[in-house]
Structure 1
Amino acid sequence: MGNKVNNIDVVYTPWYNLKKSASMDVGQVGFHNTKMVRTVKVEKRLNEVVNRLNKTKVERKPDLKAAEREAINASERAERKVQLRDKKRREEMDRLEREKQAEVRSYKGLMVAEKMTSNKQVASANKSLQELEDDFM
């Protein structure tokens, strides 16, 4: 009815300022704070504007529950990904530490040819038996 009448008042307010009680009729609302309400008087109806708005009007009814669920699932997947990455990193660090400890405990480093000397090499170093014993102790 309001879109065919001239000289009407259009009321603007944020949605959170609207108040609806059970005793009110269908379509009737009240306001929590009247200072937030703005009223604009429209003297003459402009058919061109109304027609243009009606042509471009698009009504969508999105499934907000599914979108919200998808957003929650995406955040949970991202969190699990980060946790899995951290777990793999910790396991790799633990594995490297165990390998390092095993290397330290192993006897591989004791019997290396570069560190060994033969009796001939000792004799050719021109050290006396007394000097060798002193070095040993």
Structure 2
Amino acid sequence: MVYYFKSMPSGHTLFMGLDKQENEHLIKHGWPEQDIWFHVDNLSSAHVYLRLNPDEDWQLIPGDLLEEVAQLTKANSIKGNKQNNITIIYTPHSNLHKDESMDTGTVSFKNPKLVRKHYISKRNNAILNRLDKTRTIKTVQEFKEEREAKDDADREALRASKAQERESEWMERERIRDAKHRKETMYADLFTDENMTQTNERFNEDDFW
């Protein structure tokens, strides 16, 4: 099962797996561009994720939102929940490294420099009670389907963007072609046989004034 929570008042989604086996699914089917991974530093804990909006910078997470996710992470660590003065580490999902040699539910980092820390002095029950009231549960399959739906939407958006780009390029080529044609034909009607005859007649008339 995957547990979902809603941050208030920002509305951001937080989620975590039931156990280390489900952590594997969260790693595999998370959203690398938007999900931020949280864990208690140097202690066993749940893998908690914050899903940012597409235009948000993970290094500029508001302090109150960061505290909410950190409190949820602390509360879901057997040892960390009982201790004061602990550190929560977090990094983008895209920075997680996982290979077959690693134990179930464990990860490392592609770039350790992209890991940030958040200090918690003690448990905040008010935050945890508020989050618990928003809790919903989905299956791992539903979580996987969310990722598949996102991938489908991203591909469709990319196709639409490329189609729009091709149309814009075609319209620009047509504009250039039309402008060139107008330039080439701008004076063409001045040199028709009729206009040339009229012009010669005027010149002939002027010869005898």
TM-score when scaled to structure 2?
0.41
Please tell me whether Structure 1 or Structure 2 has the larger radius of gyration of its CA atoms: 1
From 75, 84, 105, the counterpart of 2:161 = 75
Q: CA deviation at 1:91?
A: 3.2
Which protein has the bigger strand share? 2
The 1:71/1:6 distance shift into structure 2, 3 A limit, reads same
Residues 89, 23 of structure 1: alpha-carbon distance in 2 compared, 3 angstrom cutoff: closer
- Give 1:108's match in structure 2, choosing from 190, 194, 206: 194
Per the TM alignment, residue 99 of structure 1 is displaced from its structure 2 partner at its CA by: 3.2
Considering fraction of residues, name the structure with more helix.
1
RMSD: 4.0
Higher alpha-carbon deviation: 93-102 or 45-54: 93-102
Instruction: Report how far residue 52 of structure 1 moved.
Output: 0.8
* 2:103 counterpart of 1:11: no
Give me the TM-score of the superposition, normalised by structure 1.
Answer: 0.56
Decide whether aligned partners of structure 1 residues 20 and 83 sit closer, same or farther in structure 2, where only a CA change above 3 A counts.
closer
The answer for the alignment partner of 1:24 in structure 2 is 102
The aligned length equals: 120
| Distance in 1 separating the partners of 2:186 and 2:118 | 78
Considering Cα pairs closer than 8 Å and 6+ residues apart, tell me whether 1 or 2 has the greater RCO.
2
Equivalent positions of 1:1-137 (< 5 A) are: 3=76, 5-7=81-83, 9=86, 11-15=88-92, 18-31=96-109, 33=112, 36=115, 38=117, 40=119, 43=122, 45-57=123-135, 61=146, 63-100=149-186, 102-112=188-198, 115=202, 116-117=204-205, 122=208, 125=209
**Deviation digits for residues 77-96 of structure 1 (CA, Å, limit 9, x no counterpart):** 22222222123213323432
For 1:50, give the aligned amino acid. L
Amino acid at match of 2:88: V
Offset, 1:10:
5.2
Structure 1 unaligned regions, length at least 5: 126-137
